[in-house]
Amino acid sequence: MTRARILLRWLHLWLGLLLGLPFVVLALTGSALVFYIELDRLLNPDISVTSTAPAPGWSSPVWDRALETARSHWPDAKGHWSFEATGEPGAIPARFYPTGGDHHQADPLMVWFSPDGSQVLREARWGDYLMTFLYDVHRNFLAGETGNEVVGWLGFALLLLLVSGVVVWWPRGSWRKALALKRGAPPVRALRDWHKLVGLAGAVFLLLLSGTGALLALPPQKEWLVARMVAPMKAVPAARSTQSEGRQVPIVAVLSAAERALPDARLAWIEVPGPGDGAFRIRAQVPGDPTHRFPYSYVFVDQYSGEVLAVHDARAGTAGNAVSNWIRPLHDASVGGLATRILGVVVGLLPIILFITGLLRWRLRRRAAAAPAPKRSVA
């Protein structure tokens, strides 16, 4: 065995022992989050309401009614509201950011309105219920921005763990022997066989999930890599209203202007600014955008005049934007529909097998090495 191969084997062993448990935590929480919406509805039947009315869209008066309900329910709230257009009839999910910032600045209040927008069905602070707790564990180990950094660099370390495992396994002789699962083998050999076969079966998917997860957790590093490997990304504009006070225009008028700006887009989110010079931000999915829930096209509308201030069309971005837009749907397995989501859950369970088989094999080898050598009889 060459010295380089010995070094890689040592590196793979200790990376696995040190990072195996965090890898399992990230994988398990990620598997649960693949069906985040469905699991949350199952756990909270109060938002699983049925409605014969069609889902609210670009011209629906439901959005203004829901905003009126929100402001009457929380009259002193000064942040901004964000309503999700799910495209399905039923409860309307919304979020309130008390500081007027995005999710990186403050944990939102999660609210679900009745299908007609006239009632509050449920309210809960982000992180206080199971699915958002799992999301925060997956995103940052409950450690805020510092945790985001840790998870991001951990993702790159996991890439090294996976690549070193493949290189150490790579056969120098018979591929058939390298891929064999020997029946009746001693525990050390059986554990090794299961570890290698499970690792090889999920290697491509685990590499993809680790790499995309690292890039999502580290936006500056993602932009740097994409700019150098593909092309610099076109930034989303930071539009502001032309004045800081006045009467806010109705949502229906804002959506009418936004639909004219992106006539072939599907409405995804409506972000309603609070007092000040903030602008409406309408998030929409244009043809070719792979992300359904959090697409990458935006229309900014002045909250006092209703005029369109800026448009960011995902189709008008650079090749770097196109590559970046695929990172999230590849990571959360939302691209491809139900089949890829199920595959994402299965792949998320593989690190448990890898960690257990690797740990048990290491312990058996240590025990064998520490055992006294058997005495030889002298004839």
Its domain, for residue 110, covers: 44-134
Instruction: pLDDT band for 5, please (50, 70, 90 cuts).
Output: confident
- What kind and span of H or E run contains 351? helix 338-370
Residue 352, domain member (yes or no): yes
229 has pLDDT over 60: yes
* CA dihedral of residues 136, 148, 281, 236 (deg, nearest 10): -160
Residue 353, domain member (yes or no): yes
* Rounded-to-integer distance, Cα 313 and Cα 305, Å: 22
148/221 same-domain check: yes
Could you give the number of structural domains in the chain? 3
User: Which of 76, 109, 134 is the last residue in one of the domains?
Assistant: 134
User: Which of 102, 134, 166 is the last residue in one of the domains?
Assistant: 134
282/308 same-domain check: yes
Residue 375, domain member (yes or no): no
- Average confidence score pLDDT of the chain: 94
180/208 same-domain check: yes
pLDDT tens digits, 177-204: 889 888 888 999 999 999 999 999 999 9
Percent of the chain whose pLDDT exceeds 90: 86
| CA atoms 340, 346, 352, 355: torsion sign | negative
Residue 56, domain member (yes or no): yes
Residue 99, domain member (yes or no): yes
18/149 same-domain check: yes
Which pTM value belongs to this model?
A: 0.91
Residue type, 63: W
Residue 237, domain member (yes or no): no
pLDDT tens digits, 264-280: 999 999 999 999 999 99
User: Which of 134, 152, 170 is the last residue in one of the domains?
Assistant: 134
Q: What is the distance, to the nearest Å, from the Cα of residue 312 to the centroid of all Cα atoms in its chain?
A: 22
pLDDT tens digits, 54-94: 999 999 999 999 999 999 999 998 899 999 999 999 999 99
96/147 same-domain check: no
84/222 same-domain check: no
53/196 same-domain check: no
105 has pLDDT over 60: no
Side by side, the strands of the sheet bearing 279-285 are 120-125, 109-113, 92-97, 80-84, 266-272, 279-285, 297-302, 308-312
CATH number assigned to the domain comprising residue 321: 3.10.450
Residue 172, domain member (yes or no): yes
Residue 15, domain member (yes or no): yes
